[in-house]
Structure 1
Amino acid sequence: MATAPQAGTLGLQPAALLLLAALLPLPSSQDPGSAAHRCFCQVTGHLDDCTCDVESIDAFNNQQLFPKLQKLLESEYFRFYKVNLNKPCPFWIDNNQCGSRHCAVKPCKPNEVPDGIKSESYKYSEEAFSELEECEKADKLGAVDSSLSEKTRQALLEWNRHDDEADRFCEADDEDSPDSQYVDLLLNPERFTGYKGPEAWQIWNSIYEENCFKPYTVKRPLNPLASYAGKDEGRTFYRWLEGLCVEKRAFFRLISGLHASINVHLSARYLLDDNWYERKWGHNITEFQQRFDAELTEGEGPKRMRNLYFLYLIELRALSKVLPFFMRPTFQLYTGQTSQDQHNKDLLLDVLQLAKSFPLHFDENSLFAGNKKEAAKLKEDFKLHFRNISHIMDCVGCFKCRLWGKLQTQGLGTALKILFSERQIEALPKSSNSDPAFTLSRQEIVALFNAFGRISTSIKELDNFRTLLSKIH
C-alpha cells in the first residue's frame, strides 16, 4: 500500500516521540542485505494516520500487555465460543471443503461447558441467572400474556433484534440454532492446516475486490501473496489508496492488518513434521519470508506488517474505551464459580486499565468528522462492507480457518461498535434498575478479547521472527 498522507498529529509532541524512540532498542539486524532487514526495514517509526510508532507498540505489548492477556484468555469464560460452522456460503456454491484432518474442529460435549455459560450467553451475573431460572419456571406453568397474539410477539422479538443489531458491524451467528455449538478455543488453536490454493485465495480476493472501497478498474492478482510482474504494477495497485479519504483508507488497512495477522499465525504454528511417531508445530521462516519479505513481495510485505500495527492500535483503543462497561458492579464474567469469576474480573479490569494507560492511542475522532450527512452515509457503508466480510467467512472451506475467521471478524466488528458508541458508554447507568443504552453479548465479549489476543500474539511473534531471521546470512 502506498504511503498515505498524514491526517494530523495526536497525542505526544514530536520531540517527546523522538526521545521515547531514542530510549528503545534498535532492530536486531542493521545489515541491509540480511533477511531480517528485508522483512523489517520499513516496519519502524511512525504509522500512517497515527502519531504512534512501531517501537512503542512492541515494548508495550511484548513486555506488559501480552502476558496478562494470555492468562485471561486461558480462563473458562473466554475459552468457550459458540459458533455455527455449517452455515452455507451465501455468495457462491462452495463444494471445496478442506480434506486435511488439521482443518477439523472438535466441538465441546455438553458436560464440558460450565452451566453458567450455557444458561444464557447475554446474562452476566448470578442474579440474572436466578432470574432466568424463575422465568423458565413461570413459563412451564403457562404464565404467558395470552393477550398478545403470536404475530405480535414475533414482531416484538424482531424489533428487539433490530435494535440490538443496529449498532453491529458484523452479522452474529444465531446461538439458538441447533447447528451452533460450543468450541474450546484452546483445544482448537489457530495454525497452518494445509488450506491454500485458489479456494483460499478466492476468499481474500472477494474481500479486497468487493469490500475495501477499491475501484473496479484496479485489478489485483488472483493469488494475493504472489509477486507482481514488476515494481510499476505494484505501485499502480496501491496508488488508488492515496486518493481515498482517511476513513476508507483505514478500512483497507484494518482488513490488510487482519490478513497479515492470520499469515503470521500460520507461519508461527506451521506443521514442520507429521509422521507416525511425531507431529511437530513451529516457526517456518521460509513461509514467513514468502508472505513478508520485501524482495519476494515487491515491497508489499512490510506494508502488510505496518497495517497489522494499525489494527492493533484500533482494537487497543476499543479496549480502553469500553472500560466503564466492565467496571459496573453488576457485571460478572459469570461461569458459576464465584471465587474464580471474581478473580477473572479483577484480571480483566487490570488488562483494561493497562490498555487505557497506553500514551499513544489512536484518535477515532479523526474519523467521520466531516459533514454530518456524509459522515452518516460513510459509517453505514462501513457497516455494510464489514457485514459482507463477516458473511464471506461462511465460505471458508477449512472449518478451523472458518472458526477463527468468524471469531476475529466479530471481534473487530465489536471493537468498531465500541469506538462509535462513546456517548452510550458514557451514559451507562450506575444502578441495575435501568436498561443500558449500550450492551455487549457474551459472544461479543469473548470475540473481542480473543481477537485482540490474536493481534497481540502476532506482534509478539514478529519479534520472534525478527530474532530468527537475524541469524540468517
Structure 2
Amino acid sequence: MWLPKLGILTAYVVLGVTVTLSADEKDCFCKIPLKGEVDDCSCKIESLDSFNNLKIFPRLHSLLNKDYFRFFKVNLKRPCPFWGDDGRCALRDCHVDKCSEDQLPPGYKESKQEENKYTKEAQEQLHTDCKEQKELGGIDKTISSEDRESFKSWSKYDDAQDNFCELDDDNSADMEYVDLTLNPERYTGYKGESAWRIWRTIYQENCFKPDTPVPGYGPAEARGAEGKALQSGLDLMRSLKGMCLEKRVFFRMISGLHTSINVHLSAKNYLPAANGYGKGTWGPNVEEFQKRFDPETTNGEGPQRLKNLYFTYLVELRALAKAAPYLEQEDFFTGDEKEDNETRNAVKDLLKIIKSFPDQFDESRLFQGNNKEAQQLKEEFRKLFRNISVIMDCVGCDKCKLWGKTQTQGMGTALKILFSGDTMGPDSTVDAQQKKNFQLRRSEIVSLFNAFGRLSTSIKEVDVFRQLIKEKDST
C-alpha cells in the first residue's frame, strides 16, 4: 500500500501547528535526521538511533535466527468475523511456506509433544497426583456437554482479563508451524480495496475519537478507498492534542506499527532486473519510501509517522525491560540442549543491554487512580486493541496476515506486561515469582521478540534510506 501524492506544499498542519518547510526540507525531509524528543517521552531520537543501530539491532538480528524464535505456531485459516471473504491474494509472494515435521526442532515434533509438555517439576507433581488417585480410588471424570461449553466461556473470560490480543487456540487443528526466516516480511503486491479496508477499519472504528470532531478534507474523500483510509489517519493525528495521554498513546502505537510495516515494504521491495530480463531482486526502493513518508506525499504527516515508530519502539523496549526477570528464568526449550543454552545466554545479554537504556517509557502515567473512569478507559483500551488483533484475520494476503498477527500479538503482549505486576513505573518488574498470576505462552514470547525485532529493523532501515536519499540527491 502506498500513499498518493497530494501536491506540492510548503506549509503543513502537523498536530494542529502550522509548520513551514525550507526549500531544502521541502525537497527531501531525509536530508537531515529526525531530531528532538519522542512525543510523550523524554527520550531523544538521536540517542535512540545510536542505541538501536549499534547495540540492539545486531544482537536481536542474531537472536531471532535461533530456533526458538524462528518457528512460530499460527492459525492462518481463521475466518474474518467482520465481513465476508473478498478473495485471497493470488500473487506468488503472498504465499506462506509451512514447516514439515522433519524441519522442526526435536522438541516441537508431534511425537515429542506430550513428553515435553510439562516441566520436570510439573511431571513430578503429575506422577504424585496419579499415585494418590490410585490409592484413594478412581474419580468420576464425566463432564456434561453444557459444562464443557461453560468451561470454554470461563477460559475466554479469564483470557480477556489479562490479554490485549485474542490468541490463536493452541489445540486447533489449523495451527501450523511457520519458519519466519523463510517467510520474510516484504512487499507482496497486496493492495486495493481489501488492503485499505484493513487500515480504514482500524483507524475509523478501532481508534479513540477526539472529543471535538475534526473536519475532513474534501479532496481525500474523492479519492475513494485509499483517500478515506489516509484521511481517517490524518484526522486522528491532527486531533491528538485534544486527547488524553492514554488515547494519544494508543494512536501513536498503532501509527508506529503502521509506519514500521510501511518501512519494511519499502526496504524489501521487488526491484526488476536492470536490463528487463531475468530475475529481479529484493531491496530498498527509495521512491516507494518517499511516497509513504515525504511531507509532500503525506500532507506533511510523514515525519510525525516516523516519530510514532520511535514511540512504539520505546513502549516495547520498556515491556522487555520490565519482563526481564521473568524471561531470564525461561528455558527457551526446543529439544536441542546446545542451541537452548546459546539462546538463554543470548537473551540475557540482550536484556542486559535493554535494561541499561536510561530513558524508559513510564507506564505509570497511564490510567492513574483507581476511580471508575480510569478503569473504564483501561477496559476500552484493551477492547479496542483486541479488536485490532482480530482484524488481522481479515488480511487477504497470507504473508501479510502472518506478520500482521505476529506484530499485533507482540504489541499486545507488551501491553499485557506493562499492566501486570504489583506496581507500575520504570522501576517495576514482572518476575518468575509472579507466575501464578502472570504467564506468557511460548507464542507470546516469540511474537514479543519478533515484533520488537521488526521495530528495531525499521529504525535501522530508516537510517539506510536517509543515506540512500543523500546519495541520490548528490548525483
Closer, same or farther: CA 107–236 of 1 in aligned 2, 3 Å: closer
Report Cα offsets for 1:323-374 as digits up to 9, x if no partner: 111233xx30001111221221111111111111101111111111145211
1:223 and 2:226 aligned: yes
1:101 equivalent in structure 2: 92
State whether structure 2 residue 33 is matched by structure 1 residue 38: no
Change (3 A) 1:320 1:224: farther
- What amino acid is the match of 2:451? A
Q: CA 1:418/1:427 → structure 2, altered by over 3 Å: closer, same or farther?
A: closer
Match of 1:465 in 2: 465
Distance of aligned partners of 1:437 and 1:428 in 2 relative to their CA distance in 1, 3 Å threshold: farther
**CA distance, structure 2, for counterparts of residue 456 and residue 316 of structure 1:** 10
Equivalent residue, structure 1, for 2:271? 272
1:124–1:334 Cα contact (<8 Å) kept: no
- Tell me what 1:23 maps to: none
Who is 1:326 aligned against? Answer: 327
For the 8 Å contact 1:124–1:333, the answer to whether it is kept is no
Unaligned runs of 5+ in 2: 1-12
Matching of residue 393 in structure 1 with residue 384 in structure 2: no
From the superposition, tell whether residues 109 and 101 of structure 1 become closer, same or farther in structure 2 (CA, over 3 Å): same
Matched-pair identity in %: 48
SS at match of 1:340: helix
Q: Check the 8 A contact 1:2/1:242 in 2, yes or no.
A: no
Matched, 1:339 2:342: no
Q: CA deviation at 1:120?
A: 5.5
Which one is further off, 185-194 or 108-117?
A: 108-117
Query: Where does residue 453 of structure 1 map in the other structure?
Result: 453
Deviations 1:72-103 (A, max 9, x none): 10000000111111111111112221110000
Shift, 1:466, TM fit: 0.4
1:404-459 CA distance string (max 9 Å, x none): 001100000000000000328857555xxx96211100000000000000000000
Structure-1 separation of matches of 2:279 and 2:156: 49
Match of 2:67 among 72, 76, 90: 76
For residue 214 of structure 1, report the CA deviation from its aligned partner.
2.3
Which of 177, 191, 198 is equivalent to 2:193? 198
Contact 1:4 1:48 in 2 (8 A): no
Partner in structure 1 of residue 171 of structure 2: 176
Alignment partner of 1:282 is 2:283: yes
Q: What do you get for the CA RMSD once the two structures are aligned?
A: 3.3
- My pick for the range that moved more, 247-256 or 111-120, is 111-120
How far 1:279 sits from its partner (Å)? 3.2
* Structure 1 match to 2:412: 413
Q: 1:165 to 1:342 in 2, by over 3 A?
A: farther
**One-letter code aligned to 1:68:** R
* Secondary structure of the corresponding residue to residue 182 of structure 1: strand
User: Do the aligned residues in 1 keep the contact of 2:420 with 2:438 (CA within 8 Å)?
Assistant: yes
Map 1:90-169 onto structure 2 (within 5 A): 90-118=81-109, 127=120, 145-151=139-145, 152=147, 155-156=150-151, 158-160=153-155, 162-169=157-164
For residue 17 of structure 1, what is the aligned residue in structure 2?
A: none
Residue equivalent to 1:295: 296
Cα distance 1:444–1:131, how it changes in 2: closer, same or farther (>3 A)? farther
What is the rounded CA distance, in whole Å, between the counterparts of 1:128 and 1:111 in structure 2? 29
CA distance in 2, matches of 1:4, 1:127: 58
Distance, in Å, in 1 between the alignment partners of 2:397 and 2:198 is: 11
Distance 2:320 2:16 in 1: 26
Unaligned runs of 5+ in 1: 6-29
User: In 2, distance between residues paired with 1:31 and 1:78?
Assistant: 45
After superposing the two structures, state which structure 1 stretch, 272-281 or 405-414, moved more. Answer: 272-281
Matched, 1:185 2:183: no
TM-score, scaled to structure 2: 0.83
For the 8 Å contact 1:2–1:241, the answer to whether it is kept is: no
Corresponding letter in the other structure for 2:209: K
What secondary structure does 1:302 align onto?
A: helix
Q: Is the CA contact (8 Å cut-off) linking 1:47 and 1:310 kept in structure 2? A: yes
Q: 1:427, 1:182 → 2: CA distance?
A: 29
- Tell me whether 418-427 or 365-374 shows the greater mean CA deviation: 418-427
* Residues 384-406 of structure 1: CA deviation (Å, up to 9, x unaligned): 10111111111111110000001
Q: 1:32 to 1:370 in 2, by over 3 A?
A: farther
The secondary structure found in structure 1 opposite 2:154 is helix
Aligned twin of 2:8:
none
The answer to whether 1:89 aligns with 2:80 is yes
When residues 317 and 113 of structure 1 are mapped into structure 2, their CA distance, relative to the original with a 3 A threshold, is same
Moved more, 239-248 or 409-418: 239-248
Query: Alpha carbons of 1:182 and 1:227: their partners in 2 closer, same or farther (altered >3 Å)?
Result: closer
- Tell me the CA shift for residue 149 of structure 1: 2.5
| 2:296 partner SS | coil
Give the Cα separation in 2 of the matches to 1:470 and 1:35: 14
Deviation, 1:113, is 1.5
Tell me the alpha carbon deviations over residues 51-84 of structure 1, each in whole angstroms, 9 at most, x when there is no partner. Answer: 1011011000000011001111000000011111
How far, CA to CA, are the matches of 2:277 and 2:101 in structure 1?
32
Mark the CA change 1:302 to 1:200 in structure 2 (over 3 Å): closer, same or farther: same
TM-score normalised to the size of structure 1? 0.83
CA shift for structure 1 position 126: 5.5
1:130 CA displacement: 5.5
The AA in structure 2 aligned to 1:420 is: F
Cα 1:144–1:115 change in 2 (3 A) is: farther
For 1:437, give the aligned amino acid: N
**152-161 or 382-391, larger mean C-alpha shift:** 152-161
